[in-house]
């Protein structure tokens, strides 16, 4: 890492699931942390482990955060809204994984492999994208650059961890409930009961739920709208038409996408394969093998496979998988920080 | 049931999972069975229960089958290939749920609510469709009639029971294995291990698998090709462009589909809603609620919801769920038989 220097780093939401991954990424990637200030935004446990030590994680303290070189927000939108702009205005670099500022015109929304060029020394507040669109934005980036994507239809298969710790615990509890019904009687496939649910909008064990977030007046969910709007911003494709169906599936980690990408220019499967093999951040599987959430869980790259022609000659089908807590959240935030380091921008004001 | 008469019925594949559902459907719908001849096509158990009695299910016996008024095939393609045409030629009505004859031009491929008109007194061999395309063919039938569907993009979420009993048992066994890993350590979402698999092409518990069937040279699976080809035949839409990504999900019963349907004629969401409410065999959910596999498992209708405009003004998004073993297989076969009864065609030759 060129220009590495020891930095004072703040993490807001350190006790959450993405927070846990973020601390692990900072350790594993040897990000030069001289001091870590961890903050809890909710009623979670009040300490985290970092570099073998227990670090207290009290409630957010703006003054302490203002002493940092860089602060990561991996917490709720409202927490970022309250604190992130003030810190940035005070000269602190802020990498915000919430949805609060992603669509704000003056805030760069960045996946380093895709649009590091959007970073600017004048924008100390930087947003990381929605976990569901990240895989698509990475996998399709070079295709879009070469052939210009004009429409995207995307069906998602989203892991429960994307809905947070309480949702994951609900999934595990329902799984134990269903395990008792896991037998064939008179040779029939069991009709599973509907276990209780409180966190997700329907039971998730043994089920799929076509709702991630709340509904708007047109019947789209907030997740579907995020994917569409953020893809346009990251690809700088304001006229792209993106239609998304976001579905939760009983998977612990790893969001998968079945995507149809329609291009302005003709694109053969062979041309697409060549582009996918050169796409930064992407591991491409030739037909015959393919990634799954279980194979991609805990890994850093975006994976894609099942490349085929779509509904016509200017359209491609692609299957994309990435770890929603890593490339979809924590890892991408750390990669943005690494890019700032690389540019020599991360020093005390 | 008009013109009901007591009939001698054969079931080939009676000991399989679809066979179990078929016998249940015949009972529950009071199909007029005077005598049941059950046959096992594999090494499964050798008796089934029907109307409270144990009925032996020996290996297939063509001579015995030829004495039936109607024979259901709910077994492998090869079994249908060997016996079904001979029985039909001998004057026995044959309803074949396998893929063997679905695309044969002289064989009607029938979902009664959609294309009962394809039935003919001269075609004693009748095919039932693939379980994955059935929900789509039913849900979109009136939309297609009114607005002419020209392209369909479909991502599936397919239950494990669609792959048979051994696959379902493999899923249940893997679930028990994964249940032991269902805990958060240091606040991290667990990265689940890859349990052993033998029946399905990858582990299915805690996973999704974008492969149903084998691959062709273009990279499409047999399941994807079936959905596309059978949809064109059932809707009598040879020029329809259908692009499918078929994905197995850890669900016991109930196939779900995220579909984008593109029409030749403009269609508003309001017009589509009106058509969906009148579509035979379909239960339509207004936005805000939606079907899931757990809510649709064990039920007879096709369910649809999440109606929205798609990627442009002539395209609609729809979420469709149906029980793959019932409407996708056993129930549809019995409904075809009921239609033959209704027409008075089911009598001894």
- Quote the percentage of chain A above a pLDDT of 90: 92
Report CB contact under 8 Å: A45, B292: no
Report CB contact under 8 Å: B258, A247: yes
Partners of residue A182 in chain B, C-beta under 8 Å = 172, 175-176
DSSP class of residue A221 equals B
Task: Measure CA B148 to chain center.
Answer: 23
How high is the pLDDT of residue A43?
64
Domain boundaries, chain B: 7-129+329-342, 134-165+197-323
Report CB contact under 8 Å: A251, B206: yes
Report CB contact under 8 Å: B294, A151: no
User: In sequence order, what DSSP letters do the residues of A125-193 get, joined into one string?
Assistant: EEEPPPHHHHHHHHHTHHHHHHH-EEEEEEEEEB-GGGG-HHHHHHHHHHHHHHHTT-S-BTTBPP---
Chain B residue with the nearest C-alpha to that of A312:
B241
**Given CA atoms B203, B204, B206, B207 in this order, what sign does their dihedral have?**
positive
Residues A256-288 have pLDDT tens digits of: 999 999 999 999 999 999 999 999 999 999 998
CB B349 within 8 A of CB B40: no
For chain A, where are the alpha helices, taking DSSP H only? 17-28, 62-65, 77-89, 112-115, 131-139, 141-147, 165-179, 222-234, 269-278, 293-296, 331-342
In angstroms, the CA B121 to CA A135 distance is 53
How many Cα atoms within 13 Å fall on the side-chain side of residue B256? 31
Length of chain A: 349
Give me the residues of A, 285-314, that contact B with CB < 8 A: 287-288, 290, 292-295, 297-298, 305-312
In angstroms, the CA A255 to CA B323 distance is 25
Average pLDDT over residues A148-156: 98
Could you identify the residue written with the tokens 């196939």? B255
For the beta carbon of residue A240, count every other beta carbon within 10 angstroms.
19
CB A18 within 8 A of CB A330: yes
Report CB contact under 8 Å: A287, B241: no
Q: What is the ipTM of this complex?
A: 0.96
Partners of residue A312 in chain B, C-beta under 8 Å = 151, 241
Chain A residue with the nearest C-alpha to that of B296:
A191
For domain B7-129+329-342, the CATH class is alpha beta
In angstroms, the CA B314 to CA B149 distance is 10
Partners of residue A250 in chain B, C-beta under 8 Å = 206, 249-251
How high is the pLDDT of residue B183?
85
For an interface test with A, give the residue of B294, B304, B328 to mutate (most A CBs within 10 A): B294
Active site residue A68: no
Q: Which pairing describes strands B93-96 and A315-322: parallel, antiparallel, or unpaired?
A: unpaired
The yes or no reply on domain A134-165+197-324 and CATH 3.30.360.10 is yes
Q: Confidence band (pLDDT; 50, 70, 90) for A349? A: very low
At B172 the three-state DSSP class reads helix
Average pLDDT over residues A292-296: 97
Partners of residue A251 in chain B, C-beta under 8 Å = 206-208, 250
How high is the pLDDT of residue B3?
47
Question: What are the tokens at B132?
Answer: 């994955």
Distance from CA of B342 to the nearest CA of A (A): 29
Residues A201-235 have pLDDT tens digits of: 999 999 999 999 999 999 999 999 999 999 999 99
Give me the residues of B, 191-230, that contact A with CB < 8 A: 191-192, 194, 202-203, 206-211, 215, 218-220
How high is the pLDDT of residue A179?
87
Per the rule left: phi > 0, alpha: psi between -120 and 50, beta: everything else, A67 is alpha
Q: What are phi and psi of A256, to 5 degrees?
A: -115, 155
Please tell me if the domain spanning A7-129+329-342 has the same topology as the one spanning A134-165+197-324: no
Average pLDDT over residues A67-90: 97
Report CB contact under 8 Å: A189, B306: no
Query: Which residues of B participate in catalysis according to the annotation?
Result: 131, 255
Distance from CA of B287 to the nearest CA of A (A): 6
Residues A92-104 have pLDDT tens digits of: 999 999 999 999 9
Chain A residue with the nearest C-alpha to that of B310:
A243
In angstroms, the CA B167 to CA A175 distance is 18
Chain B residue with the nearest C-alpha to that of A242:
B311
How high is the pLDDT of residue A89?
97
Average pLDDT over residues A317-329: 97
Question: What are the tokens at B10?
Answer: 């054969």
Catalytic residue among A131, A144, A178, A197: A131
How high is the pLDDT of residue A251?
97
Average pLDDT over residues A3-32: 91
How high is the pLDDT of residue A185?
80
* Range with lowest mean pLDDT among A3-17, A113-127, A240-254, B208-222: A3-17
Q: Which of A187, A298, A319 sits opposite B245 (nearest CB)?
A: A319
Average pLDDT over residues A77-94: 97
In angstroms, the CA B23 to CA B5 distance is 18
Enter the CATH code of domain B134-165+197-323: 3.30.360.10
How high is the pLDDT of residue A181?
86
DSSP class of residue B41 equals S
Report CB contact under 8 Å: A157, B208: yes
**Nearest to residue A297, comparing CAs of B206, B160, B183, B187?**
B206
Report CB contact under 8 Å: A48, B187: yes
Give me the residues of B, 316-345, that contact A with CB < 8 A: 317, 319, 325
Could you say which residues of chain B have pLDDT below 50? 1-3, 349
Average pLDDT over residues A303-308: 98
pTM of structure: 0.96
**What do you get for the CA distance between the two ends of chain A, in Å?**
21
Report CB contact under 8 Å: A247, B260: no
Task: Measure CA A73 to chain center.
Answer: 13
Q: Confidence band (pLDDT; 50, 70, 90) for A44? A: low
Residues A161-186 have pLDDT tens digits of: 999 999 999 999 999 999 888 888 87
Residues A192-204 have pLDDT tens digits of: 999 999 999 999 9
């Amino acid at each position: 890492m060129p220009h590495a220097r020891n930095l004072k780093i703040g993490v807001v939401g350190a006790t959450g699931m993405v927070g846990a991954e973020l601390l692990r990424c900072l350790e594993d990637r040897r990000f030069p942390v001289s001091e870590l200030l961890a903050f809890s935004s909710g009623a979670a446990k009040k300490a985290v482990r970092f570099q073998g030590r227990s670090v207290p994680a009290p409630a957010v303290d703006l003054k302490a955060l203002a002493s940092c070189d860089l602060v990561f927000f991996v917490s709720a939108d409202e927490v970022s809204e309250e604190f992130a702009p003030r810190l940035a205005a005070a000269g602190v670099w802020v990498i915000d994984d919430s949805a609060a500022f992603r669509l704000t015109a003056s805030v760069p929304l960045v996946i380093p492999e895709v649009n590091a060029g959007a970073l600017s020394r004048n924008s100390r507040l930087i947003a990381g994208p929605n976990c569901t669109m990240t895989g698509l934005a990475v996998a399709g980036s070079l295709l879009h650059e070469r052939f210009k994507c004009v429409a995207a239809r995307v069906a998602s298969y989203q892991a429960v961890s994307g809905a947070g710790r309480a949702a994951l615990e609900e999934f595990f509890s329902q799984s134990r409930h269903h395990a008792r019904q896991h037998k064939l009687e008179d040779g029939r496939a069991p009709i599973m009961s509907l276990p209780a649910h409180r966190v997700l909008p329907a039971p998730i064990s043994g089920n799929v739920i076509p709702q991630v977030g709340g509904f708007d007046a047109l019947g789209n969910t907030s997740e579907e709208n995020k994917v569409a709007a953020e893809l346009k911003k990251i690809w700088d494709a304001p006229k792209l038409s993106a239609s998304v169906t976001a579905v939760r599936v009983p998977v612990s980690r790893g969001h998968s996408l079945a995507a149809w990408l329609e291009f302005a220019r003709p694109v053969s499967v062979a041309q697409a394969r060549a582009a996918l093999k050169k796409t930064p951040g992407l591991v491409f599987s030739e037909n015959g093998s393919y990634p799954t959430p279980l194979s991609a869980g805990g890994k850093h790259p975006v994976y894609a496979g099942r490349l085929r022609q779509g509904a016509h000659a200017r359209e491609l089908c692609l299957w994309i998988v990435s770890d929603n807590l890593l490339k979809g959240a924590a890892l991408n935030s750390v990669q943005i920080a690494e890019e700032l380091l690389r540019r020599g921008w991360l020093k005390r004001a």
